[in-house]
Structure 1
Amino acid sequence: MKKSRLTLKDKKIITDKLDAIGMHLSEFSFPNLFLFRNTHEYETVTTPHGFFLSGVTYDKKRFLMPMTSPEKAGEDCFTEMKELMAGEEWDFVFPVPEEWLECFNEKDFTRTYNPDDSDYLFFTEKFKTYPGKKLHKKKNRLNQFLKNYEALLIP
């Protein structure tokens, strides 16, 4: 297993993996991953049969993020992920879109749902002009993103 901190050099491989997944969750977005790379201590994790991201939640729990949908990953990759999860390094797999749940049987995995970890939407105008410090960090990240990247909306 090889681990390394997430950098801009990882953009192509991660973007290609995310495009193949076809999920439009914020966690499955390179700009989001890159902006939060220090906050969540993102690392790439490469195994003989798989490629994953690793991160840390705000409450210091370590998670492993699959970078291939389970149905496309193949048995070797999924077996490696289960072996990684059986060790002490990671606490849980995150995110797991609803479409993937059937691949995570309840014999091997305990499923939980936390609405605070679900995607969220802000009305753009309110977000950009929100007074005070409540959304200050988020506004700065939005401005940084808009300055450095072209935003695309995919229906």
Structure 2
Amino acid sequence: MEIPRYPESRALLLEDKAELDPLLWELQPRVSELTFANLYLFRLVHDYRLTRVGNSVVALGCGWDGTPYFLPPFSGDRAAAARTLINAGRTLYGADQGFLECHFPTWDGLEVIEDRDNFDYLHLRQEMAELTGKNYHKKKNRVNYFAVRHRYSVEAYEEKYLEGALKVLDEWQRIRTSMGPSTLEREVEGAAEALRLYRELGLAGIVVLVEGEVKGFALGELLNRNTAVCHFEKADLFMEGLYQLVDREFCRLLFLGCEFVNREQDLGELSLRQAKLSYHPVELVQKFRVRRKG
């Protein structure tokens, strides 16, 4: 079965934000992929293309291994659109429990696979902002360790900090790459574009300045009415406690109306998983892949 195209399965463009933002907001998504900024910043990595299936707008993409997939449809008869694409041989990626319960109450002919490597880490924003209690004792100690050793300030991210933030990003990539083979280049490209286009993409962020020089930054946006999502956080790897400070200040200064912060997935990287779990998430937002049996 040929997959329907819309129009001619064209690539995602920055101008699509005006159309897609209302559709995505109406969904009130819980999974971090379903924001325009995330789609746009990783459009080349995952070859995101827009199509229309029936009355539904859908993003088609490819996994890191080249496997074709599609994200939960953005509008219209979402169940019918998903069924059509699954029957055409594509895998649904990024379905959460709510999507499955609403649109696939029975799994006849479907294989539903838990995707642990892509579970999102959900945290209470206030806990992350205050680092109080025994669960955060070590995190707070590291912030204090940094604070007594450095003269620093925290500012809202603006264009004047672009050059400094890109320098942090380049140095971060250089050090991480020196530790062994990696696929960091794609992540770095997305982060650099986010820094350049933060206004156009509707992102907000903070920078940490040490002696007037940018040493760390974080960028994010609203995911739904009650949740912010942090897309990027990078800092000088040799300044102990700086990462913890960046995390704290992002939650302390931004998105104050939100109860939760989604800190995205660990992609199956053991060290990243341990680091994310050390912040004691209140929930791991489950994601599933759905495909045709056989």
- TM-score calculated relative to the size of structure 1: 0.77
Identify the residue that residue 46 of structure 1 maps to in structure 2. Answer: 52
- TM-score calculated relative to the size of structure 2: 0.43
Identify the residue that residue 98 of structure 1 maps to in structure 2. Answer: 97
Root-mean-square deviation (CA, aligned residues, Å) is 2.9
Identify the residue that residue 144 of structure 1 maps to in structure 2. Answer: 193
Higher RCO (Cα < 8 Å, 6 or more apart): 2
Identify the residue that residue 119 of structure 2 maps to in structure 1. Answer: 118
Measure, in 2, the Cα distance between the counterparts of 1:40 and 1:120: 22
Q: Percent of aligned pairs with the same residue?
A: 21
1:18 aligned to which of 24, 37, 60: 24
Identify the residue that residue 81 of structure 2 maps to in structure 1. Answer: 80
Deviation at 1:24, TM superposition (A): 3.8
Contact 1:45 1:51 in 2 (8 A): yes
Measure, in 1, the Cα distance between the counterparts of 2:194 and 2:58: 24
Specify which structure has the higher proportion of strand: 2
One-letter amino acid matched to 1:144:
E
Larger Cα-atom Rg: 2
Deviation at 1:53, TM superposition (A): 0.5
Deviation at 1:146, TM superposition (A): 2.5
Measure, in 2, the Cα distance between the counterparts of 1:39 and 1:95: 16
Contact 2:82 2:92 in 1 (8 A): no
Moved beyond 4 Å, runs of 4+:
127-130
How many correspondences in the alignment?
145
Cα deviation, 1:6-31, whole Å, max 9, x if unaligned, reads 11121122211111111142211211
Deviation at 1:120, TM superposition (A): 5.5
Structure 2 residues not aligned, in runs of 5+: 123-127, 129-142, 144-167, 205-220, 223-227, 229-257, 259-294
Measure, in 2, the Cα distance between the counterparts of 1:95 and 1:43: 16
